[in-house]
Structure 1
Amino acid sequence: MDAVKLRRAIARTRLAPVAAFPKRLVAVARHDAKVLRTSARWLVASREHHNYTYELTKLSRHHLAWFVSVVCELPVKQVRKYLAEIESDDVLRQHISSAVAGAARRGLADKQVRYARRIGWYAIVRAKRPKHIVETGVDKGLGSCVLAAALLRNAAEGHPGRVSSIDINPEAGYLARTAPWSEVIDLVIGDSVESITALDRPVDLFLHDSDHSRAYERREFAAVEVKLAPGAILLTDNVTHTNVLAEHAERTGRRFLAYRETPANHWYPGDGIGVAW
């Protein structure tokens, strides 16, 4: 009996799990060794302790372009132009890198500029041209700068807009305090639900990226619902952890779609973008 016939014969017996164990062990060991190598490099090279930054894999970037294309009903070639636009914005990159290097908490941040899924935020803003964005959860202000960069491009094309960036930490948003990006950012320090309730203008695009508990995410979407402009878009940065936005979309008669990113050369499995529109 040749080797192939022998394996097939064993596969039909009680010995099958034992015979397959070495091959399964090798597959797991190879996977774990790759993760350990990537993790070890990150521990040495990076300073980040949360809100990790990384590049997307080429395939993940392609999927993000199609995701935005479907949501915004825009040709994927145009979306790719928007993605390339933010990635080639050298002025913004230089600002972020130098601001991080000079920050008080530079020991916990990387100077390398890596946007990951945030380039999708940029493309959505470029495509939809919102007059008023509300972002909850600012941290350093990387996402705020990306949103502001899109708004500045829109304004140059005759479609001005602003972003209200809300965070409870008074030290948040140091990247977003420099012109020209700060010129379209209203940095609000305070509780996000209370700040949303106090808004005095309609919201065209809302992005949840603050307290990632299900209960708090629900509170934010409930608070912003009455503030939304007709045709507003809701985004969540928490789509890989909760189904809150999908449930909210179903209750309010909206469509919902989710994208999960794949980081390149990073141990973190990545986050994603949830959209209701």
Structure 2
Amino acid sequence: MDATKLRRAIARTPLAPVAAFPKRFARVARHDAKVLRASARWLVTSREHHNYTYELTKLSRHHLTWFVSVVCDIPVQQVRGYVAEIESDDALRHHIEQATATAARRGLADRKVRYARRVGWYAIVRATHPAHVVETGVDKGLGTCVLASALLRNAQEGHPGRVTSLDINPEAGYLARVAPWSEVVDLVIGDSIASIGALDRPVDLFLHDSDHSRAHEKREFDAVEPTLAPGAILLTDNVTSTNVLAEHAERTGRRFLAYRESPVNHWYPGDGIGVAW
């Protein structure tokens, strides 16, 4: 009996799990060894303790550009142009590197600039020209700078806009406190639900990236709903953990899509973008 026929014969017997164990064990060991290597490298080379930054795999970048293309109904080549635009913005990159290096919290931040899924935020803002963006959860302000950079580009093309950035931490947003990015940023310190209720103009694009509990995410989307402009876009950074935005989209008659990123050489599995429009 040749090897193939023998394997097939064993597969039909109670011995099948025992025979397959070495191969299964080898696959698990290879996977775990890769994760352990990435984890050990990160522990030695990175200072980050949350809001991890990383590059995306080539395939994940392709999927992100198509995701934005579908949501914004624009050619994928146009999205790729927007992604190239933010990644080639040397002034922004240099600012983030220098601001990180001199910040009081520099011991918990990496100087290397890695936008990951945030280039998707940038492309959406560039494609839709929102007059008013609201983001909840600012932390260092990396995402705020990305949003502000897109708004500044839009303004150069005749589509001005501003971003209202909400965070409960008074130290948040230090990357976005320098011109020209700060010129289109309104940083509001306080509870996000109360701050949303105090907004004085319609919201064209809303991004949830604050307290990632299901209850708080739902409260934010419920709170912002009355303030939304016609055709507003809702984004969540919590889509890999909850179905809150999908449920909100269904209740309010919107479409919903989700994208999950894949980091390069990182132990963290990545986050994603959920969008309702």
TM, length-normalised to structure 1: 1.00
Aligned length: 277
Which residue is 2:74 aligned to? 74
1:54 alignment counterpart? 54
Show the 5 A alignment for 1:125-274: 125-274=125-274
SS at match of 1:166: strand
- CA shift for structure 1 position 163: 0.1
- Alpha-carbon offset, residue 3 of structure 1: 1.1
RMSD: 0.4
Partner of 1:111: 111
Three-state SS of the structure 1 residue aligned to 2:172 is: coil
CA distance in 2, matches of 1:223, 1:26: 50
- Measure the CA separation in 2 of the matches of 1:247 and 1:4: 49
Distance in 2 (alpha carbons) for counterparts of 1:29 and 1:215 = 38
- Cα distance per residue 1:203-249 (max 9 Å; x no partner): 00000000001110011001100000000000000000000000000
Shift of 1:5: 1.0
Deviation at 1:142, TM superposition (A): 0.2
| In structure 2, distance between residues paired with 1:73 and 1:230 | 17
One-letter code aligned to 1:45? T
The one-letter code of the counterpart of 1:83 is V
Unaligned runs of 5+ residues in structure 2 are: none
Q: SS state of the match for residue 207, structure 2?
A: strand
Equivalents in 2 of 1:47, 1:196: separation in Å? Answer: 33
Structure 2 SS opposite 1:234? strand
Deviation for aligned residue 1:2: 1.3
**Could you list the per-position Cα deviations for residues 76-121 of structure 1 after superposition, in whole angstroms to 9, with x for gaps in the alignment?**
0000000010011010000000000000010000000000000000
How many percent of aligned residue pairs carry the same amino acid? 84
> In structure 2, what is the Cα distance between the partners aligned to 1:5 and 1:217?
55
Write out per-residue CA displacement over residues 150-183 of structure 1, whole angstroms, 9 at most, x where no aligned residue: 0000000000000000000000000000000000
- Runs of 4+ in structure 1 off by over 2 angstroms are none
Helix, strand or coil at the partner of 1:145: helix
State the TM-score, normalizing by the size of structure 2.
Answer: 1.00
Secondary structure class of the residue paired with 2:199? coil
Report the Cα offset of residue 61 of structure 1: 0.2
CA distance in structure 2 between the aligned counterparts of 1:15 and 1:196, rounded to whole angstroms: 62
SS class of match (2:229): strand
